[in-house]
Amino acid sequence: MKIEQIYTGCLAEAAYYIESNGEAAIIDPLREVTPYLKKAAKDGAKIKYIFETHFHADFVSGHVDLSKQSGAEIIYGPTAQTDFDAHIATDGEIFKVGNLQITVLHTPGHTPESTTYLLKDESGEPYCIFTGDTLFIGDVGRPDLVQKGNQTMEDMASTLYDSLQTKILTLPDHILVYPAHGAGSACGKNMSKETFDTLGNQRKVNYALMAGSREDFVAQVTDGILPPPQYFAKNAAINKAGYESFDQVREKGMVPMDPVEFEFTAEQHGALIIDTRAPQDFAAGFIPTSINIGLNGQFAPWVGALITDLHQPLLLVVDEGKAEEAITRLSRVGYDQTIGFLDGGIAAWKSAGKETDQIHSVSASDFEKEMLSNPGTAIIDVRKPGEFESGHLVAGESRPLDYINDWTGELKRNEKYFIHCAGGYRSMIAASILKARGINEVVDVQGGYGAIRSTGLLRSDSCPETSSACSNG
């Protein structure tokens, strides 16, 4: 028996490869399916089943492509409806993979069709559960994404409570819990950095499993949930309906263009230019109106959160050899319209004598000097609300990057804004978007709040409780 967790940090997503006696199964595969095919070929195994725990909202699954290329059957849990061939399993249905048994446990609550798969080993003993977004390590799935009929978020949370109590918590403590996501995913609010655990330990440490009653559970899991990113519903729809082959998406995007062709294509197609370089490299010189979302961070989720049109033509500026990675990661969240990349990168653009723009970026110490000499200067903190509440500059204003499309219009075009996040990744995204939208005086604070904490600027987390200044934060 082989069970391999294939974890993708950018999405905080876990797919699973299972193999026994020449047969294999994949659970919740990513969009690009070659790695799964290679694993099976290396083991001399045939992929028999593709198990989906639910209609994923935060990424486009590779189930359709993988089924076509491997001949494997796609399995969904009860109530699922698809526009492609799939086996809709019944609650308690058993599938055999080599010498293993996988039992369907219908566990609605995160979504109506959410399903947990119980794997029994060669001796028929329960070994692990693949819980999808029903049960995470340290958390449970958010119940607000799909309300069935007239059901509310609270109704779905109550359904989730029943699923946990009657299906999952009846299982033995020693079995392993393998979820679909870890810390950093927007599918939950309190996920651990650990990506698997025993069920017994989760009973002791998972706040949701320790709730004393249904009412307590519903109150806890619905408290403090931020609105889902705008691309979630769109990705779920893609997963239900099917999609363009990833090979076609890659071929369409892997088109190198010289600066003249790149500029012409951008104008002709109304393409958005995404510069995927590191924040400070971008700040030093970039193509006017391009936006920076670096590959070295949560690239795909931020594209999904900020670019509202999945059909928007995209052109890429990448570091050498990074074009295919960028195209792949875009496709994972349904952005399939990459039409090319700048051959030779920004160096080629500059060598061609093309215009560049810059974003002023200052150290935390220089930022402190600026604030002391011009205390009325506007400071925008683009971290999430919870981060802001845990500590912020008293003079700072909370404007989360997640909602930049909502608050950009409230800014004054001729005013100067200092922008910071926690470490510098998100603030450069925000600064680039504002610059592209005509807010010319944007200044990025290098190192973000982590660096700002070393200055003497007044912060909410450093003020004495009696300080009146703290109440103004």
The residue-averaged pLDDT of 25-40 equals 97
The residue-averaged pLDDT of 30-46 equals 97
Residue 149: pLDDT band (50, 70, 90) is low
Q: What is the pLDDT of residue 450?
A: 95
- 151-186 residue pLDDT tens: 899 999 999 999 999 999 999 999 999 999 999 888
DSSP 8-class letter at 325: H
pLDDT of 147 > 90? The answer is no
- 398-453 residue pLDDT tens: 999 999 999 999 999 989 999 999 999 999 999 999 999 999 899 999 999 999 99
Q: What is the pLDDT of residue 250?
A: 97
- 330-359 residue pLDDT tens: 999 999 999 999 999 999 999 999 999 999
C-alpha to C-alpha distance for 203 and 181, rounded to whole angstroms? 18
pLDDT of 470 > 60? The answer is no
- Please give the structure tokens belonging to residue 378: 């506007």
C-alpha to C-alpha distance for 188 and 38, rounded to whole angstroms? 31
- Please give the structure tokens belonging to residue 52: 């989906």
119: which residues sit within 8 A by CB, 6+ positions away?
3, 18, 100, 101, 102, 126, 127, 128, 129, 130
The residue-averaged pLDDT of 448-472 equals 71
Q: What is the pLDDT of residue 148?
A: 59
Q: What is the pLDDT of residue 257?
A: 98
pLDDT of 198 > 60? The answer is yes
Q: What is the pLDDT of residue 333?
A: 97
Q: What is the pLDDT of residue 186?
A: 86
Residue 20: pLDDT band (50, 70, 90) is very high
Task: Report the mean per-residue pLDDT for the chain.
Answer: 94
Cα–Cα distances in Å, from 403 out to 95, 306, 363, 385, 409? 44, 8, 26, 11, 11
- Please give the structure tokens belonging to residue 452: 């700002």
The residue-averaged pLDDT of 249-272 equals 98
More confidently predicted of 200 and 187: 200
Share of the chain above pLDDT 70, in %: 97
102: which residues sit within 8 A by CB, 6+ positions away?
18, 25, 49, 51, 94, 95, 96, 117, 118, 119, 120
pLDDT of 16 > 50? The answer is yes
pLDDT of 462 > 90? The answer is no
The residue-averaged pLDDT of 186-209 equals 93
DSSP 8-class letter at 410: G
Residue 90: pLDDT band (50, 70, 90) is very high
